[in-house]
Each structure stands twice: as structure tokens, then as C-alpha cells.
Structure 1
Amino acid sequence: MKKNRLVIVGAGSTYTIGMIMSLIEEKAQFPLESLTFYDTDEERQAQVAEATKVILREKYSELKSFHYTTSKQEAFTNIDLAFIQIRTGGLAMREQDEKIPLSHGVVGQETCGPGGMAYGMRSIKDMIELVREIRHFAPEAWVLNYTNPAAIVADALQRVFPEDKKILNICDMPIAIMHSYADMLGKEVWDLVPSYFGLNHFGWFTKLEDKQGQDLTPIIKDKIINEGFKPTDNEIANDESWKKTFQQARQMLIDFPDFLPNTYLQYYLYPDQLAAKEKMDNTRARQVINGRQKRVHELCDQIIKNQSTADADLEVDVHGIYMVKAAAALVYNLNEIYIVMVENNGIISNIADNAMVEVPALLTVNGLKPLAVGEIPIFQKGLIEGQLAYEKLVVDAYFEQSYSKALQALTLNRTVVNANTARAILDDLIVANQDYWPPLT
């Protein structure tokens, strides 16, 4: 079996250790020849990388090469795959993304509403530059992008690289939801076959079957409504914010029982309720800074100090496994189904062809083969049309440097709606993002 040369871009992330454990877990199915870390934050990356050295020494001794760098040329030359997980502006800017909308009574969230627009406008430039650099040094490498907000980033990349068939835009949220479904059924998540449609963080499961073709959807719906719904993936199972999010998904199913919703739909269906629950001094970003970030940094320091993982709490999470399995499907032509983002082109027959939709697709060595969805119901279509217009206007605003398009985008977004509120939020976001956004005129 061919061994792969992989670079992780944004390797200073708090999710990188989980990804390393996933690569170790899947090394028989996705063996590596070399692993490289790349990040612009040298100090942050070094901490994660030095801990990774110890982990790999103990658990992946057959890996020929591991190193970390801030040089694009060194990172991207002679690679087979790039995993990209960047956060332009870091958690400090995420906190602004959440606080500014909240100050105007609007949901503060990193990928939804005004926060998603702010984060997206910051991400586009860096993502385009990264893909260009990767293509310069490794024209045939697979690029697996899971940088948020994935819908906006995917639309921008599709505009700039329309003929590049080796960019995979993928999100791990559907598999995290499926993990909870599998646990309530007493099954393995990899045994579930999903039917799904929507946009990223804005979609619905229409059916879940097992590998034998049995429809498990009625059982899942009944269990959620009568027994409750909770996250079970290791990364989010004990997180109070995620517990509340999954509880809200139960209410969504009660209100709109046709399909099983992506949990992120809560921000668009109950925006006032969600905004009222959030606290300016304890945003989700602040919880991550004081929680996961602190925990991961302490874990890395412990591993580096002890030069051992003996007492380290290292866990494999479904998010990392999903990315690694998707990569294996591409490289080894496994023809397995994953939920990914692709240009619509008739997949959902009653929305625009140039929409970047999130649907199941076969992953092959020759690219993605999305499965047809057909016509979707008017309620879901109406919601998608509004969200799609918002996303495209955000990307238009970036490329055209248009204040008007940005204002239109926020006014359309279901978390905002009011034009006066949209303008006030936009003006504050422009000030906060003056070092990141293009000038809007």
C-alpha cells in the first residue's frame, strides 16, 4: 500500500493532537511516509509539534519523517495531501465575532450570522493564498479543507479555482451528529449510510440506513423525542454548550418533524432565544480559551516535560477519524460515501446550479461523485435560498470590496433581518477587522 506525504496546515490548532491520534488509529488504512506541520504562529505550533514528537515516537515509530516549519516551500514541496484547518485572527478575533453581534442583541456565533461573515471575510484571503502556494509546489496534491466558515470559504475557492478537482471541502459536524445517532442505536457510526441535503451548517438528514438497507430514521426520531438527544463524541460529550445545542435539536425535530436537522439550524430558527441565552462575559470563544485551549496546552506541556505519554489523556475523536478516512477514500479509490460540499449542478434540482451544497458523495481517486437529491420541499428550499443569497453576497462583498453587498448579506441573514441593526453591526465589524478585511466602499 502506498504511503502518503501529508502536511497539516494550521498545526498550532487545539484540534491537532486529536488529528494525530486519528492518524495513529488509522495508520493501517492510511499509512504515512512523512508528516509536516505548517503554521504562521511559530511559538504556538512548536508547543504542539514538540508534544507530537513524543506521541509519534511512542505510537508511530514506523513514520519515516516528522518536522514542523513556517516555510511554505518546505511544507508544501513533494506532498500528496494537505489538511487545512486555519483560523485567521485566532480566538481573540473569534471573541470579537461573538461579542459585537451580541452587543446589538443578535446571536454571536463563529460560523453563523454576523460572526460567520466576519470570520469568512478574514479566511478568504489566506485560503486562496494557501491553495495557490500548494498548487505551485504540489500541483497534484489533494487539498482537504475544513476551515470555517466552510460554506463561505468553499464558495470563494470555487470562484478562484473552478477547474481544480482535487480540492475537497468537508465539515465534521454531520459525522458528530451521526455519532450520537449510532450510540442511541447501539451501532458503529461507520455502519450508518446517510441521505442528507443542504448547505454547510444548514442541512437535514432525510434518512439514515444501515449497511443492509434498513431505514433507521423512524427509530432515531422516536428516541430523540421520547428519550432526549445528547452529544456522545469524546470532544463535545461533556461540553455544556454542546449539550444544550443537542437539546435544542430535539425541539427542532418536534417543531419540524419531516427531517433530522443539523444542530446549527438552531441559530436560524430560534435566533432571539439563542441570543438571549448568551453572555457577553462568557462567549463560546471565552469558554474555548478557558477550556479546550487551556487543556490542550497543559497536555502538550506535560508530554514535553515528561517526554512520555504515560499519564497523558489522549483520545481519538470522530472528527479527526472522519478526515483521515475521507483522505483514504480519495487516495485508495474506495468509493465510499461521505457528506461533502460540491457545486450543485442539478444535484438539488430546484436550487441554483452554482450553489455550494452539502450532500453525500462517493469519494474516488478521480474526484467526487455526488449522489442526486432531486427536488426538496418548499420550506427547506425557502430557508436555503435565503442562506445561499447571504453566503454569495458575503463572497461578492469580499471580491468587490462592496459595503453595499455586505449590508445586503447581513440584512438577509435570519439572525439579523433588520437593516438598521445590520448596518450598526457591519460598521462595528469593519472597525474590529480593519487589519484583516479588504476596505469596503
Structure 2
Amino acid sequence: MRLTILGGGGFRVPLVYGALLGDRAEGRVTRVVLHDLDAGRLSAVARVLAEQAAGDPDAPEVTVTTDLDEALRGADFVFSAIRVGGLEGRAADERVALAQGVLGQETVGAGGIAYGLRTVPVAVDIARRVARLAPDAWVINFTNPAGLVTEAMSRHLGDRVIGICDSPVGLGRRIARVVGAHPGEAWIDYVGLNHLGWVRGLRVAGRDELPRLLADPDLLGSFEEGRLFGPQWLRSLGAVPNEYLHYYYFNRETVRAYQRAEKTRGAFLRDQQAGFYEEMRRPDAAALTAWDRTRAEREATYMAENRDAAGAGEREDDDLSGGYEKVALALMRAIARDERTTLILNVRNRGTLGVLDAEAVIEVPCLVDANGAHPVTVDPLPGHATGLVCAVKAVEREVLSAAESGSRTTAVKAFALHPLVDSVNVAHALVDGYTAVHPGLAYLS
């Protein structure tokens, strides 16, 4: 089986390859094609993968290419993890937003809209090429903003594109752990959009353990989201939000923390990864050792500003192991081998949430088999969550419309309607600022 990874020079690709190395079952991935626009980054990542595979005669073969069509032909699965504009673009997204006093995070608020506006046209082009060159392939999208980009691609690929995110998986794992359950034996009642969802129940052996968790301050204080949001707020909600909802519930505090930070997250990663790729220019560099060291620092500083604003402390060791590569492998195995499983994924709504139309991409538990991912019926969201989901989905639709039409006016509307922007004047300033620094937004007029 052949897997093509778009964004193959990306820093997290070795996580995916490491997961593939652990798969010994029949029908596993035997060939990996890495595609990237940057040949130097491709070479660096290929060196890390070669060291990972050292001594393993059955390791998947790795090839690299900068030709997109060549990468797509013959693919069984396409893993899309591109970053349009690179980490310099992410840093610019943060900088422009913070100058206007609003959040610049890459998937939430102004930064997410800017990232979406320059990513959607590229993702749509990829979807069209997949439909033409590899019509039987399944696309697994991790490109952010994951829900928005998956919806854009689904307009050309239908249900053969599925979005993944490790955030709900990590949240479910942490909750199961603190109530003494094995994550694989727990049913997680999770619903929302990507980076905008809530755990409303955790069923173990037919019993919902979430009420017990919410009633116990010590248990709530023992995991990251409990410390991030605070026991009182979680009990008020009657649910445990995805960590990204901290940007909504504690927006002012988070923006201040980002403004005080020595570097934004994007700037930190830009500089950190530049150091890694520069080190890989030395032929004698120990590629895997350098990658491991850089990854550990990256994971330990994840959402550091939010934890600082909440006084949540450092991340626990168990939360530093990533997870999206495991979701991707489980998804591929379920489809390729008809190994039925349940995963929280980004898929088309199909009536699952009555407040959204059938084509809206949502993030919910799905039953996965050889025919793809099928969303599980869920109870309606409470009013406060429904309002937030509908407002953000409306913004996503404006982003898609602006990307399709090239309308600057529609782009301004997308920014102005977002709950974390809340000003038409700021929206105009954001569009002016982003078009000034991003050549990829020159299509807006």
C-alpha cells in the first residue's frame, strides 16, 4: 500500500513514519512518498526517517519528490499536512492580529481566518488533482484549520476526505486516565467543530463517569484541562471543553499573555525549526537525535501562554507524546483492512447536528470501516455551545466564499463576524495588514 505525504518536509513527518514502522499486519503501508516544495527540508526529513528505519529490513520504502502530480499518481492514501506560507507566515498571522489587540492563533480567530484564506485555494487545487490522478485514494487531512480545509476539499472529494486532530483524542485519554479507565474501553461523547468541541460524557461499562469527575475538585485539578479552565467553570458547563476553547472563555487574559510573551508560538517554532533544518545541512549531524531533542522542546512549550494565563503549570510527561499519527494510522487501517473502529474525526454532518446543514464538516465520534467514516448520532448541544458552533461555522463559510470569489469584502465580513474579533473597523485593519504581508492573499480584491 502506498501513502503519499504532502508537506513531506514537515517537522512532524517522523511521527507518522514511526507509527508505520510499528505496523506489521498484512496490507500495511510498504511505500511512503514525501512531497514538499522545499527540497532541502525533504532531504532533512528523509535522513531522520532513514535513521528511524536503520536495521529494519521491512521498513516502508521512502522516496521524495517536489512534483505534486508524480506524488499523487498511484497513491492509496494521501496525508495532507501542508503549511502555506511556512512558519514565517504563521508568525506574521500572530503579529498582525496582536497589533490590533486580537488573537492570532493559527486555527482560532483572526489568525485562523488569515491562514484559511491563503490555504483553501491550495487545498482545493490538491483536491482537484487527487480527484483526477488518484480517484480511488482516501485523503486524510491534518492541514490547519483542519475543519475548514476538510470542508473545502470535501466539495471536490466528497466523503473520501477525512480530517483528523489529536486534540480530542488527548482530551479523552486524559479524562479516562483520571477516572481510572482504560482509554480504549471508554466511549467519549464529544461533539463540535475542530478546536471547538466539548466532552459531555465518558461511558465506561455502560456508566457515565463524567458526573463523578465534575463533582471531585481533586480529580478536576489532576489533568491539564481541569487546571486550564478551573473546576468551577467546568462544573458550570457540565462538560469538559477542548483546550482550544480557552481562547474563547478566557480571551482577554490569553491575548494579554501572548502580548507579554517574548516570542509568539509561531515565531518560536520558526526559529527552533530553522535551527534543526540548518543542523541537518551538516553531513555528519545525527538526524534522529537532533529531531528528538527539538520535538521534546516543541511539545513541552505547547499552549504555554494559555497555561501561564491560567496558572496551570507545566505539561505532564504523558501529554508530550503527540497522537495525531496514531489517529492517522488507525484510520488508514480501518479503511484499508475493514478493521472497524470508532474515532473522533472531522466529517460531513449528514444530519448529525440538526442546527447545521448536511455538508458542514463537524468533529464527532465516527464508526470507521472499509466504506469510510460515518458520524454517530449525538444529542443536541446546549444553547451556549450551539450559538458558538453556528457563529464559527458561519465565519468558515464566509472564508470559503472569499477564497472562491476573491472578494476582499467577503474576507472583511469573515473577520468581522468572528466572536473574537467583534469589530468591523478591526476587520478592515486585519485584511489590510494580512494582504500587506502575505503574497498568497494577493487574489483578494
Q: Does 1:73 align with 2:66?
A: no
User: For each residue in 1:254-296, what CA deviation from the matched residue of structure 2 results, as whole angstroms up to 9, or x when unmatched?
Assistant: 37422110111111222222111113641011222344x2685
State the partner residue of 2:250.
270
Return closer, same or farther for 1:359/1:305 CA change in 2, 3 Å cut-off: same
Bigger mean CA offset, 70-79 vs 307-316 = 307-316
State the partner residue of 1:97.
93
Bigger mean CA offset, 266-275 vs 86-95 = 266-275
- Correspondent of 1:23 among 12, 20, 24: 20
Alpha-carbon shift at residue 355 of structure 1 (Å): 2.1
1:263-412 alignment, distance < 5 Å: 263-279=243-259, 281-291=262-272, 293=273, 297=277, 305-306=285-286, 317-412=322-417
- In structure 1, distance between residues paired with 2:291 and 2:433: 46
Return closer, same or farther for 1:272/1:230 CA change in 2, 3 Å cut-off: same
Letter in 2 for 1:167: V
- In structure 2, distance between residues paired with 1:424 and 1:310: 41
- Correspondent of 1:257 among 212, 232, 237: 237
Alpha-carbon shift at residue 138 of structure 1 (Å): 1.9
**Does the 8 A contact of 2:79 with 2:140 survive in 1?**
yes
Letter in 1 for 2:137: A
Name the SS for the 1:358 alignment partner.
Answer: strand
- In structure 2, distance between residues paired with 1:125 and 1:179: 35
- In structure 2, distance between residues paired with 1:106 and 1:339: 30
Alpha-carbon shift at residue 439 of structure 1 (Å): 2.7
Letter in 1 for 2:199: F
**Does the 8 A contact of 1:54 with 1:307 survive in 2?**
yes
Give me the CA root mean square deviation: 2.7
Name the SS for the 2:344 alignment partner.
Answer: strand
Alpha-carbon shift at residue 419 of structure 1 (Å): 1.4
Q: Does 1:178 align with 2:188?
A: no
Return closer, same or farther for 1:223/1:16 CA change in 2, 3 Å cut-off: farther
Q: Does 1:248 align with 2:228?
A: yes
User: For each residue in 1:66-122, what CA deviation from the matched residue of structure 2 results, as whole angstroms up to 9, or x when unmatched?
Assistant: 211112233222221111101000000000110111001111211111100111111
Bigger mean CA offset, 14-23 vs 220-229 = 220-229
Alpha-carbon shift at residue 30 of structure 1 (Å): 6.6
User: For each residue in 1:7-35, what CA deviation from the matched residue of structure 2 results, as whole angstroms up to 9, or x when unmatched?
Assistant: 11111111111222122233448722211
Alpha-carbon shift at residue 395 of structure 1 (Å): 1.0
- In structure 1, distance between residues paired with 2:175 and 2:253: 26
Alpha-carbon shift at residue 180 of structure 1 (Å): 2.1
State the partner residue of 1:138.
134
Name the SS for the 2:237 alignment partner.
Answer: coil
- In structure 2, distance between residues paired with 1:222 and 1:57: 50
Q: Does 1:198 align with 2:192?
A: yes
**Does the 8 A contact of 2:162 with 2:346 survive in 1?**
yes
**Does the 8 A contact of 2:4 with 2:72 survive in 1?**
yes
Return closer, same or farther for 1:183/1:346 CA change in 2, 3 Å cut-off: same
- Correspondent of 2:213 among 197, 213, 220: 220
Alpha-carbon shift at residue 302 of structure 1 (Å): 9.0
**Does the 8 A contact of 1:198 with 1:204 survive in 2?**
yes
Alpha-carbon shift at residue 334 of structure 1 (Å): 2.0
Return closer, same or farther for 1:252/1:299 CA change in 2, 3 Å cut-off: farther
**Does the 8 A contact of 2:215 with 2:235 survive in 1?**
no
Alpha-carbon shift at residue 320 of structure 1 (Å): 1.1
**Does the 8 A contact of 2:220 with 2:227 survive in 1?**
no
- In structure 2, distance between residues paired with 1:308 and 1:285: 23
- Correspondent of 1:11 among 3, 8, 11: 8
Name the SS for the 1:156 alignment partner.
Answer: helix
1:22-41 alignment, distance < 5 Å: 22-28=19-25, 31-41=28-38
Q: Does 1:116 align with 2:118?
A: no
- Correspondent of 2:46 among 49, 74, 80: 49
- In structure 2, distance between residues paired with 1:306 and 1:282: 28
Which structure 2 segments of 5+ residues have no match? 297-320
Alpha-carbon shift at residue 353 of structure 1 (Å): 3.1
- In structure 1, distance between residues paired with 2:330 and 2:195: 21
**TM-score (normalizing by structure 1):** 0.87
- In structure 2, distance between residues paired with 1:311 and 1:143: 27
- In structure 2, distance between residues paired with 1:130 and 1:345: 24
**Does the 8 A contact of 1:182 with 1:192 survive in 2?**
yes
Name the SS for the 2:203 alignment partner.
Answer: strand
Return closer, same or farther for 1:30/1:101 CA change in 2, 3 Å cut-off: farther
Bigger mean CA offset, 266-275 vs 304-313 = 304-313
Return closer, same or farther for 1:90/1:27 CA change in 2, 3 Å cut-off: farther
- In structure 2, distance between residues paired with 1:427 and 1:357: 30
- Identical positions, percent: 27
